[in-house]
Amino acid sequence: MAFTVIIPARLASTRLPNKPLADIGGKPMVVRVAERAALSGATRIIVATDHESIRAACEAHGVDVCMTRSDHPSGTDRIAEVARALDLAPDEVVVNLQGDEPLIEPSLLAAAAARINADVPMSTCAHPLHDAADAFNPNVVKVVLDKHGRALYFSRATIPWARDAFAVETSALPAGYAPLRHIGLYAYRNDFLQAYPKLDVSPLETIEALEQLRVLWHGYPIAVHVTADAPAPGVDTPQDLERVRTLFKG
């Protein structure tokens, strides 16, 4: 399936200032992310930014870039602006890849894009959890699926709740129970991408602080590609950056 990858990148980061421009093996992080995206089979990769220094860094390394407004409330709004600027057809698929994922598995992008069709306007990814600490960590978002592999609900809570097993202990996960962890990678059909930012905020997303619940609340399906293994983590802190730099040195 043909798809376009759009990488929103902003300099605003409290934990790691100027994160998209952080050097990783001689190239800015956002360029490394674009290079990973290029391995996915995407027809086009473009960085969406509101900052001149990011534009200059991308152009210096041959990465397509599109300048956007600076007042977007979310990355979704930013990539929707770029999709309009590119004049993408309503049924074209757009993958939203965060600019702090220099180790992203390219096949995940293609897998998410492949789940989009005439009936499913949005998709994402997940993987099984095997550690109780992750299952009970509210910072680890879980998702439950229907028989068609579409999301029923996303939550910071431990879902589904293993009633009988957890009544005995919660220090370990029972045999055969592996809740799914949501991976924050999204694909959209372009017509839905344009409509998504205009949807009213839902009570569920306000409670859970999970924007994707807006989609389910309004009745739109989200397909979920389940991969066996956890993807490499993104870069949020200086410690994360040093870990990634070490990998590129190796």
CATH code where residue 79 lies? 3.90.550.10
165 in any annotated domain: yes
* pLDDT one-digit tens code per residue, 44-93: 999 999 999 999 999 999 999 999 998 888 888 889 999 999 999 999 99
Q: Vertex 72, ends 187 and 101: CA angle to 5°? A: 45
Average pLDDT of span 98-120? 96
Helices in 92-135 by DSSP H: which ranges? 106-114, 132-135
Q: Is residue 204 part of a domain?
A: yes
Question: Does 248 fall in a domain?
Answer: no
The tens digit of pLDDT for each residue in 123-158 reads 999 999 999 999 999 999 999 999 999 999 999 999
pLDDT at site 13 = 65
Residue at 156 is within a domain: yes
Question: How do strand 222-226 and strand 122-128 relate by DSSP bridges?
Answer: parallel
In a domain, residue 77? The reply is: yes
Contact 123, 117 (CB under 8 A): no
Q: Which residue has the higher pLDDT, 124 or 12?
A: 124
Assess whether pLDDT exceeds 80 at residue 163: yes
Helix (H) or strand (E) holding 95: strand 93-96
Question: Full-prediction pTM beyond 0.75?
Answer: yes
**Residue 1: pLDDT over 90:** no
User: pLDDT band at 17, cuts 50/70/90?
Assistant: confident
Q: How confident is the model at residue 250 (pLDDT cuts 50, 70, 90)?
A: low
pLDDT band, very low/low/confident/very high, at 15 (cuts 50, 70, 90): confident
- pLDDT range class, residue 30, cuts 50, 70, 90: very high
In whole angstroms, give the CA distance from residue 114 to residue 131. Answer: 29
Instruction: State yes or no: pLDDT of 22 exceeds 80.
Output: yes
Tell me if 249 is assigned to some domain: no
Given phi > 0 = left and psi -120 to 50 = alpha, else beta, which region is 149?
A: left
What domain count does the chain have?
A: 1
Could you tell me if residue 247 is inside a domain? no
- Asked whether residue 214 is domain-assigned, the answer is yes
Summarize pLDDT for 204-243 with one digit per residue, the tens: 999 999 999 999 999 999 999 999 999 998 998 999 999 9
| Domain, as residue range, for 226 | 3-242
